[in-house]
């Protein structure tokens, strides 16, 4: 029988609801796992042991009283340390914000608590979440539990490593440049980047009001070891919230799509080289979908490289006016990566920025027409294998190579589309992405959570 820390979030919720185990037992099992494993990977940077024990006792009392419970009642979760939790600092991984205590939970934390989940720890991220390698000037390096000399990805790398090692059952991260998908791919877990507006996004640090690129492209989303748990958490998180004026309430499942559903496969995305091991992995995923009844074809969405370039210009162009303020907060390596990346996209003036948004609209229209014929697009997350620690800042060439390997994440970010594991869908079609991801998972399975000391 699997240990409690090895169980999926859905299994734990079912066991607790049926009173086969208590929330206290589940929390204690995960706290013991953190004590044993976290020193090896440095994924969890603040353990909420007493708070979790108190919440577990309350969860058990609620169940004993016969009160209704949520989808994730009693299930331990972790929260990236750039997502607000009331009474705790939202550090963004930098010493300057180590004391930035916030008064309210972020909407996603509020909703996880409402679903019955119990926050058990805060997870690591790179400085200001502006790097795809999780090494914080406040908390240090997070190691990939599969290979401790390779990156855990970023910026939600602490979250991915915590989940992969069984220290948490489900977690919260965010994504403007692949920060949910990059670490999920590097650490072998599941995640979804929701459609823009599907999950509410609000916070106090560093500011309650955000630059345009953040408003358009940043999303909050769930991470877990199993696709079914990502689906469960997304259903708990989604819906409009008064603190996010752009959030919406929409049904989880969209209208039926004609079968067989066509999947466009892009095993080697345009714009650079792809490691054969990566393209072969995409091929295996495509084979699993074909066997599951999908209509799998080789086809690339239109204006793919242009979408990457516009994403880069919009994001870095918006960062440029803030660069001095950001660099003053960041450590040496984070500042090096940001400075080099920013140098590739000179700050646009008002005319150039307006032209970028005209291009964005045209690309979005072209993709919308493509997705009407190909409801899913299968691509890698990165075109290269996870790199060794420090590769992204060791040389200018390493920084450029890092920006290039993450190019498949850019189009969906630019266009506000959902991406579940390796699958991009039309806006608000997270259901299609996750259905297909589960078909791949059922074909190949997933490794059980591993012991980084083994």
Active site residue 19: no
Structure tokens at 88: 């705790």
Distances (CA, A) of 199 to 8, 72, 106, 202, 356: 22, 17, 11, 10, 26
Q: How far is CA 433 from CA 7, 70, 261, in A?
A: 23, 24, 11
Which stretches of 266-314 are assigned E, i.e. beta strand? 295-298
- Residue 31 CB partners (closer than 8 Å, separation 6+): 47, 49, 52, 120
For residue 351, indicate whether it is catalytic: no
Q: Is residue 303 within 8 Å of 366, Cβ to Cβ?
A: yes
H or E segment to which residue 50 belongs: helix 49-64
Q: Which sign does the torsion angle of CA 192, 229, 250, 117 carry?
A: negative
Nearest alpha carbon to residue 330 among 206, 207, 217, 148:
206
Catalytically annotated residue among 8, 137, 155, 247: 155
Q: Which of 8, 80, 137, 156 is catalytic?
A: 80
CB 122 within 8 A of CB 85: yes
Q: Is 80 a catalytic residue?
A: yes
Q: Which of 8, 136, 137, 179 is catalytic?
A: 179
| Residues annotated as part of the active site | 80, 155, 179
């Amino acid at each position: 029988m699997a240990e409690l820390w090895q169980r999926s979030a859905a299994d734990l919720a079912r066991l607790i609801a049926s009173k086969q185990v208590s929330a206290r037992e589940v929390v204690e099992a995960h706290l013991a796992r953190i004590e044993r494993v976290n020193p090896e990977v440095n994924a969890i940077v603040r353990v909420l042991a007493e708070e979790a024990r108190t919440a577990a006792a309350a969860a058990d009392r609620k169940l004993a009283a016969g009160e209704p419970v949520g989808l994730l009642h009693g299930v331990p979760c972790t929260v990236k340390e750039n997502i607000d939790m009331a009474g705790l600092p939202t550090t963004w991984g930098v010493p300057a914000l180590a004391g930035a205590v916030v008064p309210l939970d972020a909407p996603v934390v509020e909703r996880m608590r409402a679903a019955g989940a119990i926050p058990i720890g805060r997870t690591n991220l790179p400085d200001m979440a502006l790097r795809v390698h999780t090494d914080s000037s406040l908390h240090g390096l997070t190691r990939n539990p599969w290979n401790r000399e390779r990156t855990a990805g970023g910026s939600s790398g602490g979250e991915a490593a915590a989940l992969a090692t069984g220290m948490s059952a489900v977690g919260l991260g965010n994504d403007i440049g692949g920060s949910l998908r990059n670490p999920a791919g590097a650490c072998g877990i599941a995640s979804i980047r929701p459609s823009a507006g599907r999950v509410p996004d609000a916070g106090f640090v560093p500011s309650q009001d955000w630059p345009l690129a953040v408003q358009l492209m940043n999303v909050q989303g769930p991470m877990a070891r199993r696709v079914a748990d990502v689906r469960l958490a997304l259903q708990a998180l989604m819906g409009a919230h008064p603190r996010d004026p752009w959030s919406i309430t929409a049904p989880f499942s969209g209208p039926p799509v004609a079968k067989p559903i066509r999947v466009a496969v892009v095993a080697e995305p345009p714009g650079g080289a792809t490691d054969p091991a990566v393209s072969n992995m995409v091929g295996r995923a495509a084979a699993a979908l074909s066997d599951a009844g999908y209509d799998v074809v080789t086809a690339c969405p239109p204006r793919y490289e242009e979408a990457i370039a516009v994403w880069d210009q919009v994001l870095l162009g918006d960062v440029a006016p803030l660069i001095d303020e950001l660099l003053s907060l960041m450590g040496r390596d984070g500042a090096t990566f940001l400075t080099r990346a920013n140098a590739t996209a000179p700050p646009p003036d008002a005319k150039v920025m307006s032209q970028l948004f005209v291009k964005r609209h045209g690309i979005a229209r072209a993709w919308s027409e493509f997705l009407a014929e190909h409801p899913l697009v299968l691509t890698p997350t990165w075109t290269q294998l996870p790199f060794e620690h420090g590769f992204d800042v060791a040389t200018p060439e390493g920084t450029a190579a890092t920006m290039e390997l993450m190019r498949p994440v850019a189009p969906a970010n630019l266009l506000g589309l959902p991406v579940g594991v390796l699958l991009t869908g039309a806006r608000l079609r997270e259901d299609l992405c996750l259905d297909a991801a589960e078909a791949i998972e059922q074909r190949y399975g997933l490794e059980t959570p591993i012991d980084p000391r083994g």
